Structure 1
Amino acid sequence: MVCRGQVVMGAARTYILFNKLLRPSWHLYSKLPVCFSTSASTVPVPLEKIRNIGISAHIDSGKTTLTERILYYTGRIDEMHEVRGKDGIGAVMDSMELERQRGITIQSAATYTIWKDHNINIIDTPGHVDFTVEVERALRVLDGAVLVLCSVGGVQSQTLTVNRQMKRYNVPCVAFINKIDRMGANPYRVLSQMRSKLLHNAAFVQLPIGLENSTKGIIDLVGQKALYFEGDFGNIIREDEIPVNMRAETDERRIELVEYLSNADEVIGELFLEEKTPTEEELHAGIRRTCLQRTFTPVFVGTALKNKGVQPLLDGVLKYLPNPGEVNNFALQQNSKGEEEKILMKSARDSNHPFVGLAFKLEAGRFGQLTYVRVYQGCLKKGNTIYNSRTGKKVKISRLVQMHSSNMEDVNEVFAGDICALFGIDCASGDTFTTDHKLNISMESMFVPDPVISMAIKPKNNKDLDAFSKAVNRFTKEDPTYRVYWDNDNKETIASGMGELHLEIYSQRMEREYGCPVVMGKPKVAFRESLASPVEFDYLHKKQSGGAGQFGRVIGVLEVCYQDTR
């Protein structure tokens, strides 16, 4: 396909933008044709044009559907499919067969795309609490996040967990209230719950034009305009004036936005005290400053399933969430005295500093172990030799790829701020890699929760013991919350995880991927008896079988000895 346009080179990809003559304004466009090359450019994309974000939420809030729309509108995929769709294809990010059958996300999936000259690395995370470690390791390496909330369910149990994880890793976020087209949708109640339950200093930056079946579009409070999403897939955005019946509410909500923003930002606060109205540029700047400091959360609205509100959310990601250079990432380094010191990573996209990367996720691929790495400093090129800071082992990088769900795209080099994957690396989750073996540096690791449930597990057929052992070794290495051990008291194998679904998924994967059906059940309990009161004994032993005989007598008291722990 030949397009009129300007060719712009980026790190690991080439994309084509329509000439301004072909699309005179940003909101009148169809899906941009994007072509990703398999060779890296010699000029990396500027740090300011990179975003690393995660999509996190409670179960069934629409994370994967939202990611599917983002990939479609940015030209990364040619057509959209639904989670557990009738066509049997399913969403791009749900690459595992079990995910498509159950309609849930089990493993976090990474991809990258381009929106308005910006490279966006996206990780779609599971919403179920059983797979919470996937959210932990994703938020550990991401610079920003989109907190998705259902306009009907509001703030739910896993929303609280995800919010704690964002706070633990100090990840700035924007909120997206999804499913405003559902029966019973009430985004205003969800905003109230964000303030009361999540303790967010949050306010709308958008308002819905109608709810449930009457959803027509959204109102941009900052730009003071109405946006309508037209076309078969909502890919044409039409700007219009704010409806007359919503102008009073719009003015009221915009004043509320300025009030909540003034509580967190001094510049907007001074304008508010002087009773001056902030301009659109001043509001954007104030929201960005407070969002980076996690003192304010802008709230977007829309419905991903009905293709409304996704493109403005992408614009909000570019405007309000940080680039890798605006996030302070620290590593631990031993000094000459053997003490650990915190040092700040240099996030410049060049090769003037030694490469430092963190392996945050392991996955068994078709060509061996696939290791996901977030690059924090320097440049890594295909053919470089890197060192594992924990083990001291060195390995040569024979293949360097970037992931699009389960698909791999080869690149020649990656820079600070990029997320890539390596092959043939023997390591554990949380290991640090560097090109300088004298650096003696280690990135801060992630939090791994302890398992909460255990079940007995064994292969259905004894001939499958080898396959069972291989599956256990792989799954326990990939997932630190899945642990399998031998109970010597009851002589059985025990599998521990974060929930029944967690253990059930791995038992099904053993059968599907290794041909090893397993039997799971309640673990046995080893009962031990103890004396309730002291017992006196008097035992006489006599034995005469010819020759020297045996005689002995033992008298004593048997009682429990309690240790004083005071």
Structure 2
Amino acid sequence: NCIQMMRDRLKANAIPIQLPIGKEDHFEGIIDLVEMKAYFYKDDLGIQIDEGDIPQNMKELADEYHVKLLEAVADHDDELMMMYLEGEDIPKEQLKQAIRKATINVDMVPVTCGSSYKNKGVQKLLDCVVDYMPSPLDVPPITGLHPEDEEDEHEELVRHSDDNEPLSALAFKIVTDPYVGKLAFFRVYSGKMESGSYVLNSTKGKRERIGRILQMHANHRQEITTAYAGDIAAAVGLKFTATGDTLCDEAHPIILESMEFPEPVINVAIEPKTKVGQEKMAVALQKLAEEDPTFRVSTNHETGQTIIAGMGELHLEIIVDRLLREFKVEANVGKPQVSYKETIRKAAKAEGKFIRQSGGRGQYGHCWIEIEPIKTGDYEFENAIVGGVIPREYIPAVDAGIRDAMNTGVIAGYQVIDIKAKLFDGSYHDVDSSEMAFKIAGSMAFKEAMKRAEPVLLEPIMKVEVTTPEEYMGDVIGDLNSRRGRIEGMEARSGAQVISAFVPLSEMFGYATDLRSRSQGRAVYSMQFDHYSEIPKSVQEQIANTGNPR
């Protein structure tokens, strides 16, 4: 029973408010248990709908479920409970209000039925969304920060869902449209947005002009002049806005929420199948990167290849598929490569000295640095120079040299993270010293210090959740263990087991196929990036030698 599965697996108080008339090929309509009427669909487009009495052969079943609905709602409404116990007729509007109150409080979950393929029941579902789901007025007002106080988080600003308040809206999706160009989907939290007006992108600190505002429907769009509080629409003409940016009134700036997007963990080389597709592919990839903040495009300067990076195999497969479907670009894709990182285990000091004499003015840069591991996931630089042994204007050059060197580590050439560098000594030449010389000296010192600081490779670890029937649990756990996985826990969910584990991304390639074959297609999994962790020595040596853990 579908309703019982909802209760068991989702732990939801699922209450049907509709019943289907017929099933599968003979699905003819639905019975509305609130209005106690039947709706019959006469075509496959859901356009011709006849309202009528409940069929005689379903009258008894409809009455039974109507009573169950009344009992479920009465449990959460005292006035309705009294009317029900005294046998009074409950007005339809009062019943709807009670269902809405219980739904918003998550005391019950109304269940509807229908067929989206044949467009049956969809109309009543949308009516239920309007009747029972919370409106913007039913949720707490949105809070944000003043752009100038965002880092300190001093001043918390509140915006109520009111057309008369200052404008605040969040751009939550960017889409490239073949007809109008860049479309920015946004939700208005307060105030109103008008086409032709100017707004402030407080995230970027840029002024934007709202060209046109479109109300998007499934297969068509409607141009509107104003979007009010609570509305979701799309704007044409925004130049600087990206996913997660706040659009607001210039006189009342606010930043609603800053979205943090994880760094990509997997990358592949991509090239067009024809020379003609080279330019088209570059434009298409740029547009896709604008839409998706977790998708990155770069060029490998050593090989000249175009590299695309994302959150997993499936993510990149969809990108390549979209290149073909939407931009008509056929591409060859290389094997997936994991984005490893490098770091150090202990502190170390090293000297970097760059001296060149070439007849005229030479080059002289000399510095001593100390590096140590930190846990912030970033890079810190400390200037501990005293007495002017290195002039102040050359300090940023040493920092820049270290940053450049961190892009290619000493083990396998991967990016270095979690390091603090301290510049504490050095020397200079009045004539020969230059920023370039100190930049090279900083880079040399870092490379040497890292070799002495017990460098290690880090690999991305994914949080994996596998839902499998109980009879395949042993095979699934054994397979995860063979992939260097660490089982975190298991939870029973009505005949199925949910296994949580941490598994290195490099071991998860092709896992979907393996899981299907081990469970006869009945197990499913999801995974997301969690953290970086040190690689075992034996695997590290393989990667350092071949660039591939397998």
Q: When the two structures are superposed, what TM-score results if normalisation uses the length of structure 1?
A: 0.52
- Matched with 2:211 is 398
Q: Counterparts of 1:327 and 1:423 in 2: how far apart (Å)?
A: 29
Residue 240 of structure 1 and its aligned partner are, at CA, apart by 3.6
Shift in alpha-carbon separation, 1:430–1:261, aligned structure 2, 3 A? same
**Mapping 1:49-68, distance limit 5 Å:** none
Checking the alignment, whether the CA contact within 8 Å between 1:264 and 1:296 is kept in structure 2 is no
Is the CA contact 2:266–2:339 (under 8 Å) kept in the aligned structure 1?
no
Counterparts of 2:266 and 2:455, CA distance in 1: 31
Task: Determine the C-alpha separation between the residues in 2 that align with 1:247 and 1:260.
Answer: 20
Pair 294,340 (structure 1): closer, same or farther in 2 beyond 3 Å: farther
Q: 2:176 aligns with which of 359, 364, 367?
A: 364
Q: Please name the residue that 2:69 is paired with.
A: 257
Q: Distance in 1 between matches of 2:253 and 2:293?
A: 25
Q: What amino acid is aligned across from residue 292 of structure 1 in structure 2?
A: I
Aligned pair partner of 2:167 in 341, 346, 355: 355
Q: Are 2:104 and 1:292 aligned?
A: yes
Render the CA deviation track for 1:279-306: whole Å, top value 9, x for unaligned: 4332211111122233321111223444
Moved more, 329-338 or 387-396: 329-338
Query: What is residue 520 of structure 1 aligned with on the other side?
Result: 333
Distance between the aligned counterparts of 1:560 and 1:412, measured in 2? 62
- Say if 2:248 is the partner of 1:434: yes
CA offsets 1:336-389 (integer angstroms, 9 cap, x no match): 97425554423233xx33221111111223444221222221122233221111
Per-residue CA deviation, residues 420-448 of structure 1 (Å, 9 max, x unaligned), is 322332121010111224x3311235675
Query: Please, which runs of 5 or more residues in structure 1 have no aligned partner?
Result: 1-188, 529-557
Equivalent residues of 2:267, 2:307 under 8 A apart = yes
CA distance, structure 1, for counterparts of residue 171 and residue 283 of structure 2: 22
User: Who is 1:116 aligned against?
Assistant: none
CA separation of 1:560 and 1:412: change in aligned 2, threshold 3 A: closer
Aligned match of 1:506 in 319, 326, 339? 319
Q: 1:47-104, CA deviations, whole angstroms, 9 ceiling, x for partnerless residues?
A: xxxxxxxxxxxxxxxxxxxxxxxxxxxxxxxxxxxxxxxxxxxxxxxxxxxxxxxxxx
TM-score between both structures, scaled by the size of structure 2? 0.54
Decide whether the 8 Å contact of 1:331 with 1:441 is kept in 2. no
Contact 1:261 1:287 in 2 (8 A): yes
Q: For residues 218-247 of structure 1, give each alpha carbon's deviation from its aligned partner in whole angstroms, at most 9, with x where no partner exists.
A: 222222233333367554444443334333
Letter aligned with residue 297 of structure 1: V
Determine which of 333, 345, 359 is the counterpart of 2:159: 345
Instruction: Tell me, in whole angstroms, the C-alpha distance in 1 between the residues paired with 2:205 and 2:337.
Output: 42
C-alpha distance in 2 between matches for 1:348 and 1:264: 30
**What is the deviation of 1:479?**
1.3
Structure 2 matches for 1:459-470, cutoff 5 A? 459-460=272-273, 465-470=278-283
Spell out the pairing of 1:186-201 with structure 2 (5 A cutoff). Answer: 189-201=1-13
Tell me if structure 1 keeps the 8 A contact 2:114–2:120: yes
In the alignment, the residues of structure 2 paired with residue 249 and residue 515 of structure 1 have an alpha-carbon distance, to the nearest angstrom, of 54
Q: CA deviation at 1:483?
A: 3.0
Asked whether the 8 Å contact 2:267–2:337 carries over to 1, the reply is no
Pairwise CA distance, 1:463: 7.2
Could you say which structure has the higher helix fraction?
2
Q: Secondary structure at the match of 1:443?
A: coil
Residue 253 (structure 1) shift = 1.6
Question: 1-side partners of 2:42 and 2:220: how far apart?
Answer: 31
What is the one-letter code of the residue matched to 1:302?
A: G
Q: Which runs of 5+ in 2 are unaligned?
A: 342-450, 457-532, 534-550
Q: SS of the counterpart of 1:317? A: helix
Q: Secondary structure at the match of 1:353?
A: coil
Larger radius of gyration: 2
Query: What does residue 444 of structure 1 align with?
Result: 257
How many residue pairs match? The answer is 345
Equivalent residue for 2:59? 247
C-alpha distance 206-450 of structure 1, shift in aligned 2 (>3 A): farther
Q: What are the superposed Cα offsets for residues 120-157 of structure 1, whole Å, 9 maximum, x if unpaired?
A: xxxxxxxxxxxxxxxxxxxxxxxxxxxxxxxxxxxxxx
486 and 206 in structure 1: CA distance in 2 versus 1, 3 angstrom threshold: same
Is 2:39 aligned against 1:227? yes
Partner amino acid for 1:205? I
Equivalence for 1:417: 230
SS at match of 2:64: helix
Matched AA of 1:363? V
In 2, Cα distance between equivalents of 1:458 and 1:412: 43
Deviation at 1:477, TM superposition (A): 1.6
1:144-189 Cα distance to aligned partner (Å, 9 max, x none) = xxxxxxxxxxxxxxxxxxxxxxxxxxxxxxxxxxxxxxxxxxxxx2
Cα distance in 1 for residues equivalent to 2:50 and 2:324: 51
The 5 A counterparts of 1:116-135 are none
SS in 1 for 2:73: helix
RMSD of the alignment, in Å?
3.9
